[in-house]
Structure 1
């Protein structure tokens, strides 16, 4: 039997779990991390690479942003296209200098994990959390299995950063929360290609054939997406067809899409999901354990780390000020930003995806929104503020 005692037991070694662990350590609060997958799997998962200003500020505060500053790409804006007409949204100009960076989520995970382990802290990979017990008492416990051996983490709090399928959400009392869900009638076909980006900043594009997105990972690797039907198969999409459709959907007069070898492709369903409770007793949830947003707004990882920020504030008040006030308000505080992110992600999704026949009423509404953004500083500012992330002290 493995017995561990700590102040905060963390389930999940993704970005939110590892930001939490490193942040707590800096503040003198002990933590132990349990992760179901292997280190190679966790650090090899290619996920979104959009890092908003709040997340950059947190990583800087933790002293864990050096590699991101060297290898990441700072973006001061985004391009929005509709029917081959393109407009630029200048982030810094509209938000007082706030920007985003493009830096792979898996790279952030590597940086955080390296710092944690190099500091001699405890992280058990390939470890299954089997039960969260006594979370409505002052002495919660995480039961786990590591290499066939059972173990228990005795702690003051359990932080479930273990995703939609993790044990954290499943442990919440069934009648303690309401679930909200949207399943969109389309998916994303995403590719990674060994080709320099054809743009200096991301391009979101509506086209009569469907949505297209040109993102990037580095100066030599491009990340691109196409709207496809739910149930579509990669067997229907040869490399030539993918490039042809991307060129068509992203195209504007005088601009060309460069092509290159595709080394990864996959189809991802689009959905929104959340629950309206992130805490029960001394069990607190963060990230995908509590909410999922469509990737159109780039909010997934950033929203998870925002949860962690509020969680850290609550733990600091508990341990340093002997107060449970912020623990009690954790759900309400986190939900304000979660609903804002859900709304923005839904807005961007509905604005640029083909939802009905080209020329229909739904299309005319989409076109009217784009035409407003095109001529309105207020409209552009709304996009910019939400895209780079609203400051914590204002929302």
Structure 2
């Protein structure tokens, strides 16, 4: 077995692992990334594209921002279409100048991969049998195999950035973690197409036929979603059926201007809210989807992972460069304070905008008609009140990161 050493072992080469590695390296903290799949597979994942100001700032801090600044689209607001009537949430005005950036997660990942390669930092792709050892001891390590060679990576800390199905969370004994979960009774059917977006800003649609979202990746590439039953299969939705249904859920003026075309990617994603507590045990820290999942309604998944990265990177910097022993032991407490706020907002947005049929009423211990009346009253208040719109806007652009 070949032995290697580093300060921080990072499990997972998605955007959170790559961003953490880049930020640590900028502060002289050595790190090695271990990833179970190939780089091309990671770049093939189609994910979110709305970046909070906090993540944009973090990418500038990591010196990985040039292409984002050139090709990304700053959004001053977004629309909520409520049974055909559109309400614009003016983020810039309601949050004293804050905005969000439309720039695809795949592009963020591509930029971070390129920066890591330029920096000469080590990444082991297509690794197998990744196992964490001694996470509650002073000397943890990670063993793995690559190209027939067995490795032992000795380190000070392990950052588990390997997603919901990764090995990191499962390395915390079941009796030392508590998991909270809400599985939603529908999924999102997503289509990516090389067509101009139907609008310059996102449109969230609540309709009698179910939820829809008009999003984008660039001025020539669009991303659209429809709420569908979990029993649906992608094969049931040819392109024509998708576009026909989307037109019925968009506001009339948007439906009239929609440009359609062949899909270049189509998939159905289930929705869930999930949190693991605590987000650390000993020398292991859970980051991003390894610790929490949010429904995509509030555009918080990637952004919430970024706030985990910001907290962990700053705490480790205090330990390595500011001689603050055990600073990292505050990680779970600080991260969870923001995690639950984002979980609540994503849950609220999902409740407001989706058609739950009988499920939501049962989950909230009331009959469905009563539940629908409460949700209608709630959405009426928030959309028709500047104070209500301000609450939505402040959470959409992202709450401040905790003080470190």
Asked if these proteins are the same fold (TM beyond 0.5), I'd say yes
- The runs of 5 or more residues in structure 2 that have no matched partner are 359-367
TM-aligned CA deviation for residue 107 of structure 1: 0.8
**Change over 3 Å in CA distance of 1:214–1:376 after alignment to 2:** same
Match of 2:289 in 1: 288
Match of 1:265 in 2: 266
TM-aligned CA deviation for residue 188 of structure 1: 0.6
TM-aligned CA deviation for residue 36 of structure 1: 0.7
TM-aligned CA deviation for residue 264 of structure 1: 1.5
Alpha-carbon contact 2:12-2:36 (below 8 Å) kept: yes
Alpha-carbon contact 1:355-1:363 (below 8 Å) kept: no
**Change over 3 Å in CA distance of 1:346–1:7 after alignment to 2:** same
Match of 1:4 in 2: 4
**Change over 3 Å in CA distance of 1:200–1:154 after alignment to 2:** same
Match of 1:49 in 2: 49
- Between the aligned partners of 2:287 and 2:402, the Cα distance in structure 1 is 20
- Between the aligned partners of 2:253 and 2:314, the Cα distance in structure 1 is 50
**Change over 3 Å in CA distance of 1:173–1:26 after alignment to 2:** same
Match of 2:351 in 1: 350
Moved more, 381-390 or 366-375: 366-375
- The runs of 5 or more residues in structure 1 that have no matched partner are none
Partner residue of 1:390 out of 377, 392, 399? 399
Match of 1:202 in 2: 202
Alpha-carbon contact 1:16-1:308 (below 8 Å) kept: yes
Superposed CA deviations along residues 250-271 of structure 1, whole A, max 9, x for unmatched, are 1235762222222221111111
Query: How do residues 182-201 of structure 1 correspond to structure 2 at under 5 angstroms?
Result: 182-201=182-201
Moved more, 86-95 or 370-379: 370-379
TM-aligned CA deviation for residue 238 of structure 1: 2.4
TM-aligned CA deviation for residue 276 of structure 1: 1.2
TM-aligned CA deviation for residue 374 of structure 1: 2.3
Match of 1:244 in 2: 244
- Between the aligned partners of 1:22 and 1:286, the Cα distance in structure 2 is 15
Alpha-carbon contact 2:86-2:251 (below 8 Å) kept: no
Query: How do residues 1-395 of structure 1 correspond to structure 2 at under 5 angstroms?
Result: 1-128=1-128, 130-252=130-252, 256=256, 257-356=258-357, 360-392=369-401
**Change over 3 Å in CA distance of 1:7–1:129 after alignment to 2:** farther
- Between the aligned partners of 1:11 and 1:325, the Cα distance in structure 2 is 21
SS, match of residue 390 in structure 1: coil
Alpha-carbon contact 2:187-2:268 (below 8 Å) kept: yes
**Change over 3 Å in CA distance of 1:46–1:250 after alignment to 2:** same
TM-aligned CA deviation for residue 75 of structure 1: 0.6
- Between the aligned partners of 2:306 and 2:403, the Cα distance in structure 1 is 17
- Between the aligned partners of 1:98 and 1:69, the Cα distance in structure 2 is 16
TM-aligned CA deviation for residue 214 of structure 1: 0.3
**Change over 3 Å in CA distance of 1:198–1:6 after alignment to 2:** same
Superposed CA deviations along residues 81-131 of structure 1, whole A, max 9, x for unmatched, are 111111000111111211111111111111111111111111111113521
TM-aligned CA deviation for residue 329 of structure 1: 1.5
TM-aligned CA deviation for residue 394 of structure 1: 7.3
Alpha-carbon contact 2:160-2:284 (below 8 Å) kept: yes
**Change over 3 Å in CA distance of 1:348–1:338 after alignment to 2:** same
Alpha-carbon contact 1:172-1:280 (below 8 Å) kept: yes
Match of 2:364 in 1: none
Alpha-carbon contact 2:318-2:327 (below 8 Å) kept: yes
Moved more, 25-34 or 43-52: 43-52
TM-aligned CA deviation for residue 322 of structure 1: 2.9
Q: TM-score, normalised by structure 2?
A: 0.94
Alpha-carbon contact 1:11-1:35 (below 8 Å) kept: yes
- Between the aligned partners of 1:194 and 1:42, the Cα distance in structure 2 is 21
- Between the aligned partners of 1:253 and 1:216, the Cα distance in structure 2 is 18
SS, match of residue 150 in structure 2: strand
Q: C-alpha root-mean-square deviation of aligned residues, in Å?
A: 1.7
- Between the aligned partners of 1:29 and 1:394, the Cα distance in structure 2 is 21
Q: TM-score, normalised by structure 1?
A: 0.96
TM-aligned CA deviation for residue 320 of structure 1: 2.2
